[in-house]
Amino acid sequence: MNKKVEVQDLGNRDYKEVWDYQEQLFKEILDLKIKNRREETDLATPNHFLFVEHPHVYTLGKSGDISNLLVSEEQLQAKNATFYKINRGGDITYHGPGQIVGYPILDLENFFTDIHKYLRLLEETIILTLAEYGLKAERSEGETGVWLDVGTPFARKICAMGVRASRWVTMHGFAFNVNANLGYFDNIVPCGIKEKAVTSLNVELGRSEVPLDEVKPKLLKHFSDLFEAELVEKASV
């Protein structure tokens, strides 16, 4: 089992460009797994972890409801935002500046074959990172992602998640609000969940900004520990 994970920080990139890149890496892993099975070889499959920050964009998962997008195409253009229907699970979400988006593209057969466990460990990565800032984050039963003040009238989501998996290979991932412009969430019903708020790390800490480069190493440390992975930095494409 190959537990090495190549980490790339793509900076600020267009959503569709990075989606295509994810698909390329995803397909390379799947093709290698198929080759191994057909030719009875045992070539190691690679694992990837992409960090990226996107321009304003809304994405709707394959089981999502388009009515959860509350603005027209013209209004999207006025807000300098784009919209895509994509092939992950979950409903509608927002990506934008000030948000850390993480895309683990892993062959889970290198780690464990359990999608439920995979999602819970991604959530735990965020929960442990927030604990370093003195915040008690939690899961909300039946609602994938990471929340604060669960079970109270003040419950608010700080990290959304949605993944795709095929033959135990994953893509898509999490969107962690660090310095996000929360006004953009007013244009959707986030994740299809009504009457619950969204928050950002800088808001919770009462800071104007939290450096993304301060948060990313914390995320990687907890990801590495939880997945027992060996992280390898890779130059950006």
DSSP annotation of 43 reads P
End-to-end, the C-alpha distance of the chain in Å comes to 26
Q: Is 191 an annotated catalytic residue? A: yes
**What are the two backbone dihedrals, phi and then psi, of residue 63, each rounded to the nearest 5 degrees?**
-100, 10
Residue 88, marked binder: yes
Catalytic one among 52, 60, 108, 191? 191
Residue 81, marked binder: no
Residue 161, marked binder: yes
Residue 56, marked binder: no
Residue 98, marked binder: no
Q: Look at residues 139, 219, 116, 133 and name the one whose alpha carbon lies nearest to residue 176.
A: 219
Q: Look at residues 53, 34, 95, 63 and name the one whose alpha carbon lies nearest to residue 164.
A: 63
Residue 64, marked binder: no
Residue 184, marked binder: no
Residue 91, marked binder: yes
Give CA–CA dist 60/73, Å, rounded.
14
CB atoms within 10 A of CB 86: 18
Give CA–CA dist 30/108, Å, rounded.
12
Please, which residues have CB within 8 angstroms of residue 55's CB and are 6 or more apart in sequence? Answer: 12, 14, 15, 80, 82, 96, 97
Residue 116, marked binder: no
Residue 96, marked binder: no
Residue 173, marked binder: yes
Q: Say which amino acid occupies 190.
A: P
Active site residues: 191
Q: Which residues are annotated as a binding site for substrate?
A: 88-95, 160-162, 173-175
Q: Which residues are annotated as a binding site?
A: 88-95, 160-162, 173-175
